[in-house]
Amino acid sequence: MTSEALKSVLANARRITIKVGSALVVDSATGVADAAWMLGLARDIADLRAEGRSVLLVSSGAGALGRRYLGLKRAKLKLDEKQAAAAAGQPRLMSAWEAAFSQVGLKTAQVLLTREDTEKRRRWLNARATVDTLFDMGCVPIVNENDTVVTEEIRYGDNDRLAARAAQLIRSEVLILLSDIDGLYTDDPRRNPEAQHIPVVEKLDASIEAMAGGANEQAGVGTGGMATKIAAAKIAGSAGCATLIAFGQTIRPLSSIEKFTVIRPQSSATAAYKSWIAGTVVPAGKLMLDEGAVRALHNGKSLLPSGIVDVVGAFDKGDSVSIVAPSGAEVARGIVTYSAAAIRLIRGRTSKDIESLLGYTAGDEVIHRDDMVLV
């Protein structure tokens, strides 16, 4: 379905995050949702899904739709008015997406995030678990910032960076930013006919950032110009995710992409996540294992409660801990699914007993192998 150029970027992408700006979703002449365009994107997303990929959509447009619905005509709104507009617009945005996706047989779900949700580890893990469950259920999660409750200091403010965080959250291999410009140029192409399109950025260095901050800063409507797109690419890149910037104002916005800029990450998404676990996190405690559990980890298994002999420290679910062999050597690090107090109750027992011992279960594994790195 997709162009050859796009196909090669998406070749190994299991999870794709797509961000669409207000200018695409909301018809500028009428101020209402552009149903035909939304249906076109829903069809493209259905094709990606049919290829076995999970797709998360980050959609702006709540503010623009709510502004029209509430009859707020002034060009510049105060913060509380913007938040009111987003509150009124968000259900309209979702109902327009729901109408589009239902025509291609896909279910949708609304996920409203704030910066705290993507920066506090516990909330990050909760959000990730919910989105994973939505994927398992075959839904297309539709993300926006929870504009109604965030204040100026603590908000993302633009959906480009929010989308990059969402891409990182779900371990996307590719983030697609659809906007009104087909990528990065050496200069503003509307003012300088000599401006060169940049198809591939192998390394996001200072010269590229300077380009986005200068002539291209104003390129693109909505909150984010090219500068926020480059900022998004930086976040995504550090999580091993490629960023693709493409023109989205066509009726089948993905399948018609020919020209775009792709900004390559420095490593794979999995490698980036594992190096984050191994390197940047100070362990909050220790889990002492028996020999059998150490062998199981070396064979690529998750850590189950049965192999845990002792727990050191007071840590929370979502913290990074050190995993220690009977010899005292650290064998791995990982992110725990249960708190220290909970693990003290379930250690040495089989996973089947977790629910009766704790009164709840967060899964069979104390540390899932995807959240663990051998050291």
Q: Which residues bind ligand GLU (CB under 6 A)?
A: 21-22, 60-64, 86, 144-145, 147, 158-159, 222-224
CB nearer to ligand GLU: pick between 33 and 242: 33
From the CB of 61, what's the least distance to ligand GLU, in Å? 5
Taking the complex as a whole, how short is the minimal distance between the CB of residue 18 and ligand GLU, in angstroms? 14
Contacts of 259 (CB under 8 A, 6+ apart): 5, 182, 183, 197, 199, 246, 247
On whether the CB atoms of residues 79 and 20 are closer than 8 A, the answer is: no
For residues 17 and 339, which CB has a smaller minimum distance to ligand GLU in the complex? 17
CB 90 to ligand GLU: min, Å: 7
- Of 6 and 94, the one with the shorter C-beta distance to ligand GLU is 94
In the bound state with ligand GLU, the residue whose beta carbon lies nearer, of 163 and 269, is: 163
* Cross-strand bridge partners of residue 303: 367
CB closer to ligand GLU out of 144 and 168: 144
What spatial distance separates the first Cα and last Cα of the chain, rounded to whole Å? 43
Position with the least CB separation from ligand GLU: 63
Residue 34 or 158: the one with the smaller Cβ distance to ligand GLU is 158
- Closest by CA to 37, choosing from 190, 244, 247, 261, is 247
CB 348 within 8 A of CB 305: yes
Rounded Cα distance between 289 and 327, Å, is: 10
* Residue 10 backbone dihedrals phi, psi, to 5 degrees: -85, -5
Q: What does the chain come to in residues?
A: 375
Q: For residue 22, which of 178, 181, 226, 197 has the smallest C-alpha distance?
A: 178
The distance of closest approach from Cβ of residue 83 to ligand GLU in the complex, given in angstroms and rounded to an integer, is: 10
Q: What share of the chain is helix, strand, coil (3-state, %, to 5)?
A: 40, 20, 40
CA 85/CA 95 separation, integer angstroms? 16
Of the two residues 24 and 354, which places its CB atom closer to ligand GLU in the complex?
A: 24
Give the shortest CB-82-to-ligand GLU separation in angstroms: 8
Q: How far is the CB of 227 from ligand GLU (least distance, A)?
A: 12
Least Cβ distance, residue 167 to ligand GLU (angstroms): 15
